[in-house]
Amino acid sequence: MAAANPWDRAAEPNAAGLLLDRFVASGLVTQEMLNISKKSASCFVNFSRLQQMTNIQAEIYQKNLEIELLRLEKDAADVIHPSFLAQKCNALQNMNNHLEAVLKEKRSLRQRLLKPMCQENLPIEAVYHRYMVHLLELAVTFIERLENHLETIRNIPHLDENLKKMSKALAKMDILVTETEELAENILKWQEQQKEVSSCIPKILAEENYLHKHDAIMPSLPFTSKVHIQTVNAK
């Protein structure tokens, strides 16, 4: 509890209050001056606000630190959380038991691996049957494409030589294409010439028929006259 102000006239009467009453009665001090002196200084108000801000900043820093710790705990939960650690311990224990069983049956397993596995059935649990079907499909596909893959691997050292051969083959193909185009043009020209010749054949045949008829009409004319007529017809 704060101590009473000895200069406060409203408090219990004391020597300081009586002295102030005398000063007010004599006019040395006014009531307004006493009221101003009662007000708290602004510097003390700022000090209290600064203290409040410092306390709030410290609280914010503490909350941020707690949030960062929670984030670290979340990121490392799979390492430090007891439930995750228990799962990992169980997995390691199962693996350890499996390895112990393998070591115990090492001799029998070695003998079994030395024997050929032809025409033998391997026991597989029903849970893994669908995976085995998929695995067999992949194995068959791999075996079918194995020869192609091996051939591709064998051809890798000769890749540059094969590319050169392909470039030469493409150049020859370009030459053949050019020659084929020229041959096609020559064939088209020959076809046009054949059409012209075909169109001229009926005229030639008609002229020959006409000459034969004319010769049959005048068989008695002398040879010179016949030659002259043929010459005129030819013109």
Q: 18: exposed, middle or buried (C-beta count within 10 Å: 0-12, 13-18, 19+)?
A: exposed
Q: What is the pLDDT of residues 144-195, one digit of tens each?
A: 888 888 888 888 887 788 888 888 999 999 999 999 999 999 999 998 888 8
Q: Angle at Cα 212 formed by Cα 209 and Cα 216, nearest 5°?
A: 140
Using DSSP, state whether 26 is helix, strand or coil: helix
Distances (CA, A) of 127 to 49, 72, 154, 191: 71, 39, 41, 77
Distances (CA, A) of 3 to 6, 7, 8, 11: 9, 12, 12, 11
Quick one: pLDDT at residue 107? Answer: 85
Sign of CA dihedral 103, 107, 113, 119: negative
pLDDT band at 123 (very low <50, low <70, confident <90, very high): confident
Q: What is the pLDDT of residues 17-39, one digit of tens each?
A: 677 777 778 777 777 776 666 65
Q: 229: exposed, middle or buried (C-beta count within 10 Å: 0-12, 13-18, 19+)?
A: middle
CA 228 – CA 214 distance, rounded (Å) = 13
- Per residue, the 3-state secondary structure of 34-60, as one string, reads HHHHHCCCHHHHHHHHHHHHHHHHHHH
User: Model's pTM, two decimal places?
Assistant: 0.26
